[in-house]
């Protein structure tokens, strides 16, 4: 059958220029919807954002059901939902080397505006997505509302929280990772992984394809631009730098897995060309500004880590925990973050990252034996660098740390020695760990043993932040269940920090 090729497009490239017989042939070549994985947008800026899709008519088949050759596609961006005011359009080619994914960095748009985008390939059109550009960095912004979400174990539950996230009015969403989980099928599971433990590029691609087939996840992506980061499960549980604790693969072997995982992550995420992986390395940490209201620093807390101390896990501190050589982020990332915190050009400094920054006592029972129990995979296992960071936050009185990983909601205070210097909001999971409960069994002990902790909840959901120059509000949104579809959403709690005062108030 004749392939639709690049010469069917004019330089300005819309599908309207294709001759009728060619269009008919192109339509006939799809056995199924090539946009089965949805569309997405990400990394918004004042002048544009990334738009993404991947052509995959048969998501779980090899190459997503695509022939191993380039496939031309067209895209357009409009100022209105009906696509009557097209403001940008173009053509591109989906390459088999990148699993026929498409990343377009749209530029030249107006700041702080809503836009709509869609794709066309082989005579088939995608659904429409919505994204907002950010305000200019110099703009005096009175308010911002955005979402915080992550940890979406497909096997643990439905993505009902994503469906509700899609219904929110948000400027963007920060995703703290665990977009996929690498494990083989659980038994029982709410819904099962379609393949065993993943390790090759093709394995990772198929896992992303299974996750991205979910309509609730697709709805969230179509509704909002995302700032994507990753945590551990996009690669392997609790990995740290070159170290693979679970499989004990030698570093040079683990780097091969990391390379495959990074490539598949890039292929499936709406991220910019600056996040294109170079072998087993990727530039994940980066920043953004929302007018003069907030500066965001998105961290990479995995790639440059030293191995977890004391053999990882939940343990009392061994001397390694305080080693000045231990690092969660490397010297360049630490210097970059320190520089940004010092700038004082935005009302709020937001450190958006993956693992808990508070060093809390993890003993789960009030009658547990004495001795503070640490989560060594969190910042608590990297105490020297953690304390340097706390010292840098001292006196700013405008720092909010956003975190994932825990599969529980927390609100708490970060201290430099005896003084609170920032607040940390830990967002739960979209689905990981299943339905959960309002007050988990460990909740009473956590609150009793950790006075810096103000709020604990163990249901699924996301955080919606409402930010003004005077106050930061974190709304903890939870769903009553994820083990069956159509769980009900409610606002479980709102915790606020007043600008200039690192303290938490229940609203």
Write out the residues near Fe ion by the rule CB under 5 A.
151, 178, 432
What minimum distance in Å lies between the beta carbon of 436 and Fe ion?
A: 13
Identity of the residue, 91 or 152, whose beta carbon is nearer to Fe ion in the bound complex: 152
d(CA 490, CA 478): 6
What is the DSSP code (8-state) at residue 215?
H
Q: Are 132 and 48 in contact (CB under 8 A)?
A: no
What minimum distance in Å lies between the beta carbon of 233 and Fe ion?
A: 6
Residue 496 pairs with which residues in a beta bridge?
473, 505
Identity of the residue, 179 or 298, whose beta carbon is nearer to Fe ion in the bound complex: 179
Q: Are 114 and 80 in contact (CB under 8 A)?
A: no
CA distances to 184, 192, 239, 354 from 155, in Å: 10, 5, 21, 21
d(CA 122, CA 26): 5
Q: Nearest Cα to 337, choosing from 274, 401, 383, 293?
A: 401
What minimum distance in Å lies between the beta carbon of 397 and Fe ion?
A: 31
φ and ψ of 331, to 5 deg = -60, -40
Identify the H or E element spanning 388: helix 383-393
d(CA 138, CA 300): 27
What minimum distance in Å lies between the beta carbon of 242 and Fe ion?
A: 22
What minimum distance in Å lies between the beta carbon of 410 and Fe ion?
A: 14
φ and ψ of 138, to 5 deg = -90, -5
What minimum distance in Å lies between the beta carbon of 390 and Fe ion?
A: 25
Identity of the residue, 295 or 407, whose beta carbon is nearer to Fe ion in the bound complex: 407
Q: Which residue has the tokens 């599971």?
A: 189
Q: Cα 331 from chain centroid?
A: 23
d(CA 437, CA 457): 7
Identify the H or E element spanning 148: strand 144-149
What minimum distance in Å lies between the beta carbon of 300 and Fe ion?
A: 16
Identity of the residue, 341 or 402, whose beta carbon is nearer to Fe ion in the bound complex: 402
What minimum distance in Å lies between the beta carbon of 463 and Fe ion?
A: 15
Identity of the residue, 66 or 426, whose beta carbon is nearer to Fe ion in the bound complex: 426
Identity of the residue, 133 or 432, whose beta carbon is nearer to Fe ion in the bound complex: 432
Identity of the residue, 144 or 165, whose beta carbon is nearer to Fe ion in the bound complex: 165
d(CA 76, CA 34): 17
């Amino acid at each position: 059958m004749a392939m639709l090729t690049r010469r069917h497009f004019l330089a300005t490239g819309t599908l309207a220029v294709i001759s009728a017989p060619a269009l008919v042939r192109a339509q006939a070549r799809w056995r199924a919807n090539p946009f089965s994985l949805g569309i997405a947008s990400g990394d918004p800026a004042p002048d544009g954002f990334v738009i993404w899709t991947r052509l995959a008519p048969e998501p779980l088949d090899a190459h997503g059901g695509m022939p191993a050759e380039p496939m031309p596609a067209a895209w357009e961006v409009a100022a209105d939902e009906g696509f009557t005011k097209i403001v940008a359009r173009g053509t591109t080619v989906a390459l088999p080397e990148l699993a026929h994914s498409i990343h377009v960095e749209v530029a030249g748009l107006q700041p702080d505006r809503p836009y709509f985008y869609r794709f066309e390939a082989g005579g088939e059109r995608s659904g429409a997505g919505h994204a907002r550009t950010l305000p200019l960095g110099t703009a005096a912004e009175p308010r911002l509302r955005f979402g915080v979400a992550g940890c979406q174990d497909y096997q643990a539950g439905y993505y009902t929280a994503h469906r509700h996230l899609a219904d929110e009015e948000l400027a963007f969403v920060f995703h703290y990772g665990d977009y996929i989980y690498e494990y083989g099928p659980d038994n029982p599971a709410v819904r099962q992984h379609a393949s065993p433990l993943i390790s090759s590029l093709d394995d990772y691609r198929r896992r992303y394809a299974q996750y991205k087939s979910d309509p609730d996840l697709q709805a969230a992506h179509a509704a909002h631009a995302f700032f994507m980061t990753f945590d551990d499960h996009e690669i392997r549980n609790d990995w740290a730098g070159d170290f693979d604790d679970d499989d004990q693969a030698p570093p040079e072997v683990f780097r091969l897995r990391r390379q495959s995982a990074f490539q598949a992550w890039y292929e499936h995420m709406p991220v910019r060309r600056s996040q294109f992986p170079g072998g087993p390395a990727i530039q994940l940490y980066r920043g953004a500004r929302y007018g003069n209201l907030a500066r965001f620093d998105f961290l990479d807390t995995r790639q440059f880590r030293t191995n977890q101390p004391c053999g990882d896990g939940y343990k009392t501190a061994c001397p390694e925990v305080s080693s000045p050589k231990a690092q969660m982020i490397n010297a360049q990332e630490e210097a970059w973050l320190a520089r940004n915190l010092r700038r004082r050009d935005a009302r709020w400094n937001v450190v958006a990252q993956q693992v808990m920054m508070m060093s809390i006592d993890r003993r789960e029972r009030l009658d547990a034996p004495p001795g503070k129990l640490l989560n060594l995979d969190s910042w608590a296992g990297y105490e020297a660098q953690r304390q340097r960071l706390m010292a840098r936050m001292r006196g700013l009185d405008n720092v909010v740390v956003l975190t994932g990983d825990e599969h529980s909601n927390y609100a708490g205070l970060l201290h430099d020695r005896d003084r609170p210097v920032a607040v940390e909001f830990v967002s739960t999971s979209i689905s990981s760990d299943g339905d959960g409960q309002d007050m988990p069994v460990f909740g009473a002990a956590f609150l009793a043993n950790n006075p810096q902790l103000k709020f604990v909840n163990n249901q699924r959901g996301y955080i919606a932040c409402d930010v003004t120059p005077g106050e930061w509000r974190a709304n903890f949104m939870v769903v009553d269940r994820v083990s069956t579809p159509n769980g009900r959403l409610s606002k479980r709690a709102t915790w606020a920090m007043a600008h200039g005062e690192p303290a938490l108030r229940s609203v």
